[in-house]
């Protein structure tokens, strides 16, 4: 249900909760390997530049936000691990999960049950909000 420029919906999603797939992929994913290995599920958000060359990454960002909000509403923990625009990281994710190379990876989202160690971050900054005048 995410918004999409000109309603092109260039997104694709790869998801797995298969521990064997996740365990095999994790070591190939560098800095995120530990977090991914501990996840109960993984969602890879992909875009098709063939469908929307200029806006695929924006549309997929909107879809990613919806996934993160849905996970939170379900009492799950999820985090956006960036890939785009790092071509090496994008390619390693495609390879790790067997995703065709014509799809560009925006991010990977490990999903699991929160440990309770991490606390909500207050990201509100009144200096970044301007109302009626700058």
- d(CA 2, CA 8) in angstroms, rounded, equals 11
Q: What is the per-residue pLDDT for 59?
A: 98
- d(CA 99, CA 92) in angstroms, rounded, equals 10
What average pLDDT does this structure show over 21-39? 91
Q: What global pTM score does this model have?
A: 0.92
What average pLDDT does this structure show over 52-76? 97
Rounded to a whole number of angstroms, the distance between the first and last alpha carbons of the chain is 32
Q: What is the per-residue pLDDT for 61?
A: 98
């Amino acid at each position: 249900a995410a918004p999409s420029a000109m309603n092109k919906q260039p997104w694709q999603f790869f998801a797995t909760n298969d521990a064997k797939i996740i365990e095999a992929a994790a070591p190939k994913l560098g800095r995120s390997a530990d977090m991914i290995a501990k996840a109960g599920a993984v969602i890879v958000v992909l875009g098709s530049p063939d469908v929307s060359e200029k806006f695929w990454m924006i549309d997929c960002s909107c879809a990613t936000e919806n996934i993160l909000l849905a996970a939170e509403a379900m009492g799950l923990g999820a985090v956006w691990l960036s890939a785009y625009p790092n071509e090496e990281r994008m390619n390693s994710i495609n390879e790790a999960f067997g995703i065709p190379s014509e799809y560009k990876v925006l991010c990977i989202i490990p999903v699991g049950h929160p440990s309770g160690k991490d606390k909500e971050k207050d990201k509100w900054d009144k200096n970044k909000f301007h109302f009626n005048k700058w």
